[in-house]
Homo-oligomer: A and B are copies of this chain.
Amino acid sequence: MIKIALDAMGGDFAPEATVEGALLAADELPSGSEVVLVGQQSVIENQLGGRQPSAGKLSICHAPDVIRMSEHPTKAFTQKPESSIAVGFGLLRRGDVQAFCSAGNTGAMHVGAIFSIRAIEGIIRPAIAGFAPKITGGHAVILDVGANAEVKPDVLAQFGHIGSLYARHVLNIERPRVALVNLGEEEEKGTLLTQAAYQLLKLNRHVNFVGNVEGRDLFRDKVDVIVCDGFTGNVILKLAEDFYDLLEEHHIFEQLEGKVDLDFFRNFNYEAVGGSPIIGVNGNVLIGHGVSSAMAIKNMCLQAARMAEAQIHLKIKKALSED
């Protein structure tokens, strides 16, 4: 039985988007699963307006306090133990739920993960992962997308390893191809960082390293795990998301409905993925966009359920302990 905690107060459109998203997710989750809405009980109940999905797939865990988007992450997390984010991490730490998601303060979610469930032993730096659509369908995982703007070569090499485990166990890719983002394909190209990381990845026996990948090849199904520093990954992810928005603003999807298969382009929509997992901590944590819609919240909860089912954090822990 999978239980997913969702921060009902997190995101620009909470509680409407969060509660509606939770209802949608509850409908799609297998029976026995449950979404736990964490936040102010009266606010959540008001939004629910008496609605309940069948088979008790929704419950509420009261948290009287809220961390705002603008608050300082560390300060807010430590000084507001009754906030929805702190209470959610409490549920996760005690094993009352198998995953925790929020579209609220990203920094507070990151700090909360590090402070409450902590990094897995052997993890140098946990990463926030994003997803890049593949032209042949599905997504590649890209890490890091913002938690670590500056990294050392060994961190990039470890991103390749934990990203592989994620792709294998959550995205069900048998032997994930790992590549390093670079400005050329040749081994000696790039910065001192990428040159050193290239050598470490090449030698890493846990990783099916296929070499460098350039900006033009990110979506070309040449790679399943895209490795880069958080600065580069953040720029790539936001650029790709904007590409979807630009197509939508120009009514491309409407105009070509039924004429051209645009599923690949639809996969650039952040809502299709819903959330960015923190990889390398002792639990399943997902961070959503501040602007998350109900659809995005639903997909974040479903992704959380897949991560929980795969027990990806335990797989990573096991792999590192055997290293």
Contacts and interface: CB of A to CB of B under 8 A. Distances in A.
A217 to B, nearest CB: 8
B238 A235 contact: no
Interface string A230-257: 1110111111111101100011100110
A48 interface: no
Given A181-B235, A183-B235, A214-B238, A260 B265 contact: no
Count class of interface residues, chain A:
35 or more
Interface string A193-235: 0100000000000000000001111111000000000111011
Contacts of A238: 214-216
Copies of this chain present: 2
A74 to B, nearest CB: 14
A302 to B, nearest CB: 25
A245 B264 CA distance: 14
B236 A219 contact: no
26 contacts: A135-B246, A149-B183, A149-B189, A150-B192, A190-B231, A194-B231, A214-B238, A215-B234, A215-B236, A215-B239, A215-B241, A216-B239, A216-B245, A219-B246, A231-B232, A232-B232, A232-B235, A236-B239, A239-B239, A239-B240, A246-B265, A250-B262, A251-B260, A252-B256, A252-B260, A255-B260
Ordered nearest first, which 5 A-B pairs have the shortest CB separation?
A215-B238, A215-B239, A183-B234, A216-B238, A216-B242
Given A149-B190, A216-B241, A239-B239, 4 more contacts: A216-B238, A216-B245, A239-B240, A246-B264
Interface of A: 135, 146, 149-150, 181-183, 189-192, 194, 214-220, 230-232, 234-243, 245-246, 250-252, 255-256, 259-262, 264-265
